[in-house]
Amino acid sequence: MSESVNSAKRVLNVLRASKKVLVGTSILVALLLLATLGAVVYKTRFAKDPTIPGTFYPSLYPSPEHPLGTDHYGRDILAMVLVGLGNSLAVGMIGGLFATVIAVVIGFAAGYKGGLVDHVLRSLTDTLLVIPTWPIFATLAAYVTIRSMPLFGLLIAAFSWPGAARAIRSQVLSLRNREFVQLAIITNLRTYEIIFFELLPNLLPYIVVSFSYATMGSIMAETALRFLGLGPPDVPTLGYLVNIYIPMGYLSIMPFTMVFILMLLAAIFIAFNLINIGLDEYFNPRLKKITGM
């Protein structure tokens, strides 16, 4: 109980200390509400599920009934956009979560074990950071048929963990030589005890930052993939909607609809960027120089 009160207090502290995190989090929460509650409430306006093809007349202009119009499959576009927003965020967070887990495992193995393990894992991480993995990622997404969202997130994560892994490794490395960890090693604590009770709690801030970065990276990779027309069509995301609406000429027939979708996408990236930079500065005060405010 007090544990959770404590962590809630810590979160509040971060929000109070960094205006950037506050603004970013507010935007993100607003988007999440829009994608969950907003979608549910909006759908109750209609007798039938507005995201099923053929429910309405196709390609209707925006009207009070359909604020963003209907698409060429006869679906309400606003309903599609709200669902897409939710999917974009969900895919990103699943991807970010998997990437963070991979990064934590590899970062800890490399940083704590050292020696040959470290050497091999570090070469692997560095190689993946240096060579452009994006074409390989796109190729995989093109050839392998994926239908479920978690698998899609996993695929994205498989290419977005190296940056986080490197950051966590270096933190583990520096923590390992601190007195309290050395003491734990001398007192013969078991390795898993040291990792879970000594190292992990101290690294939590870095892991949170890594998760936030990885989530933004995943959403970026996912959207870019969709702009190429790749990725599972069963999981409609904002990028997918833009990609199928452009060839239908929606840029000229309903520009406002497209602007709305693009604004949502932009809002996602602005929110995550503010959160990332803010958290970075909060946990590494030396970085305050990035923005000076």
Residues interacting with another protein, by CB under 8 A? 20, 127, 130-132, 134-136, 138-140, 142-144, 216, 220, 223-224, 227-230, 242, 246, 251-252, 255, 258-259, 262, 265-266, 269-270, 272-274, 276-277, 289-293
C-beta of 206 vs 250, nearer to another protein? 250
Distance CA(80)–CA(50), nearest Å, equals 8
Of 8 and 30, which CB lies nearer to another protein in the complex structure? 30
Minimum distance of another protein from residue 44's CB (angstroms): 31
What is the closest distance, in whole angstroms, from the C-beta atom of residue 289 to another protein in the complex? 5
* CB contact set of 278 (below 8 Å; sequence gap of 6+): 14, 18, 19, 20, 21, 22, 24
Judged on CB neighbours under 10 Å (0-12, 13-18, 19+), 163 is middle
Write down the least CB distance from residue 160 to another protein, Å.
Answer: 14
Residue number, 142 or 185, with CB nearest to another protein: 142
- The angle, 0 to 180 degrees and rounded to 10, between the axes of the packed helices 134-143 and 149-160 is 160
Q: Which is nearer to another protein, 130 or 186 (CB)?
A: 130
First to last CA, the chain: 35
Q: Smaller CB distance to another protein: residue 25 or 112?
A: 25
Distances in Å between the alpha carbon of 145 and those of 94, 154, 217, 231? 18, 13, 22, 8
Q: Minimum Å distance from CB 223 to another protein?
A: 7
Which amino acid, 41? Answer: V
Burial (CB < 10 A; 0-12, 13-18, 19+), residue 226, is: buried
φ, ψ of residue 235 in degrees (nearest 5): -110, 85
Quick one: CA dihedral 179, 181, 182, 186, positive or negative? positive
Judged by DSSP in three states, 8 sits in helix
**Is the Cβ of residue 142 or residue 183 nearer to another protein in the bound state?**
142
- To another protein, the closest distance from the beta carbon of 136 in angstroms equals 6
Q: Is 153 or 278 the residue whose CB approaches another protein more closely?
A: 278
CB of 144 to another protein, least distance (A): 7
Structural Rg of the chain based on CA atoms: 22
Query: Minimum distance between the CB of residue 192 and another protein, rounded to whole angstroms?
Result: 33
Question: Is the Cβ of residue 71 or residue 198 nearer to another protein in the bound state?
Answer: 71
Q: CB of 20: closest distance to another protein in angstroms?
A: 7
Q: What are phi and psi of 277, to 5 degrees?
A: -65, -40
Coil/strand/helix, residue 78: helix
